[in-house]
Structure 1
Amino acid sequence: MNYKISDIEKSFEGKIVENLGNNDYVIKINDKDHQLRILNMDAKGIEFILDQQYHKAKYLETSTNEINLVIDHVPVTLNMNTHFDEVVFKNSGGGGSGGAQLALKSQIPGKVVSIAVAEGDSVKKGDVICTLESMKMQVAVKAHKDGVLKNLKIKEGATVAKGDVIADLE
């Protein structure tokens, strides 16, 4: 994912390279590896150690493309430059090699905020199936092909993990 911090013209790309277990990760930021340990994470914020330095981030408010934080007592607004909906759509089967894949899968963990369709509904590629909330961001999960919705496997208020099947499209 690419992020841009307001008032700073630089942007950076970060991703998890390896999950070492016990909340320890190797992350890559702009092609440089860093050690990350998450100490505590809840709806209010996150405490973590990055390269042996303690940091605390408090969430203030979030929209789909922007998050306001206070990191180590410094207010920061992050603008997320990637098109998160497009990434989720592509990785849930959209933009792939045709209609071979039946299962629509979640590419992020999250809570099911709303469901826009019911079993038996006909959907077109790109139609919103449900909305997930992950890390205080709402993300639309869209149909990866035209078809009829079968085996809807989610309910409002339930949580899904990355890779969980949301529904089958036939």
Structure 2
Amino acid sequence: MEYKIADIEAAFNGHIIQKTGDADYTIKINDNQHTLKILNISTRGIEFVLDSQFHSVKYLDAGTAQMKIVVDGTPFTVSMHHSLNDIVYKNSGGGDSGDAQTALHSQIPGKVVSINVNEGDSVKKGDVVCVLESMKMQVSIKSHKDGIVKKIKVKATGSVAKNDVLAEIE
């Protein structure tokens, strides 16, 4: 996954290469391989050892593809895959072929945080139809075309799986 720290130009890539134990992993950040041991994880933060050095991360606030954290006492704003909204929009029916498609699909699993339209509402391509939360991040799901909301297929606080139909727009 691609990450970007606010106020720093370069983005970086990080992913898990291999799980080596219960809470032990081999990870790769850009082209460098590291060992990671997770000591404690909760809704407030995570403590871990990265390459034999202890680190503590506290979660402050999470929004659409962005998280405010404090790492070892230093505050950061991290954009997790800073183009996530564009990818979700494109893969949920947005883009060149969107006009022929009625169903607006979810490209991520998550919980429905809010529904921003009602059945019968007129929407423009790019309008926010609903907001999903996945892994403490909120992602706006946008209309893939201009049209009328024929049917809303989800309920607030409900869960959706990847590829579930969220709404029908004609």
* TM-score of the superposed pair, with normalisation by structure 1: 0.69
- Bigger shift: residues 125-134 or 42-51: 42-51
Cα deviations by residue, 1:61-82 (Å, 9 ceiling, x for unpaired):
23446423234x3434133272
Rounded to whole Å, the distance in 1 between the matches of 2:115 and 2:67 is 24
Whether 1:77 and 2:45 are equivalent positions in the alignment is no
Q: Measure how far apart 1:97 and its partner are.
A: 2.1
Show the 5 A alignment for 1:98-109.
98-109=98-109
- Measure, in 2, the Cα distance between the counterparts of 1:97 and 1:25: 41
Counterpart of 2:146? 146
Q: Contact 2:65–2:139 at 8 Å: present in 1 too?
A: no
Unmatched tracts of structure 2, length 5 or more: none
Partner of residue 130, structure 1: 130
Q: Give, as a single letter, the amino acid of the residue that structure 2 aligns with 1:136.
A: K
Q: Indicate conservation of the 8 Å contact 2:59/2:69, yes or no.
A: yes
Work out whether residues 68 and 75 of structure 1, in 8 Å CA contact, stay in contact via their aligned partners in 2: no
CA drift at 1:166: 0.6
Equivalent residues of 2:65, 2:138 under 8 A apart: no
Q: 1:11 offset after TM fit, Å?
A: 2.3
C-alpha distance in 2, partners of 1:107/1:26?
27
- Contact kept, 8 Å, 1:64 with 1:137, in 2: the verdict is yes
Partner of 2:121 in structure 1? 121
Report the alpha carbon displacement of residue 162 of structure 1 after superposing the two structures with TM: 2.4
Percent of pairs with identical residues: 56
CA shift, 1:115, in A, is 1.0
- Asked if structure 2 preserves the Cα contact closer than 8 Å seen for 1:6 and 1:76, the reply is no
* Structure 1 position 54, deviation (Å): 7.7
Aligned to 1:157: 157
Aligned AA (2:67) = I
In the superposition, relative to structure 1, how do residues 89 and 56 fare at CA in structure 2: closer, same or farther (>3 Å)? Answer: same
Structure 2 matches for 1:27-46, cutoff 5 A? 29-30=29-30, 42-46=42-46
Q: Alpha-carbon deviation of 1:144?
A: 0.6
Alpha-carbon spacing, 1:119–1:58, altered in 2? closer, same or farther (3 Å): same
How far is the alpha carbon of 1:128 from its aligned partner?
Answer: 1.4
Quick one: distance in 1 between partners of 2:27 and 2:97?
Answer: 30
Contact 2:64 2:140 in 1 (8 A): no
- Closer, same or farther: CA 9–143 of 1 in aligned 2, 3 Å: closer
Distance of 1:27 and 1:96 partners within structure 2? 36
Amino acid at match of 1:4: K
Task: Find the residue that maps to 1:61 and give its secondary structure.
Answer: strand
Which structure's CA Rg is the greater one?
A: 2
C-alpha displacement of 1:8: 5.3
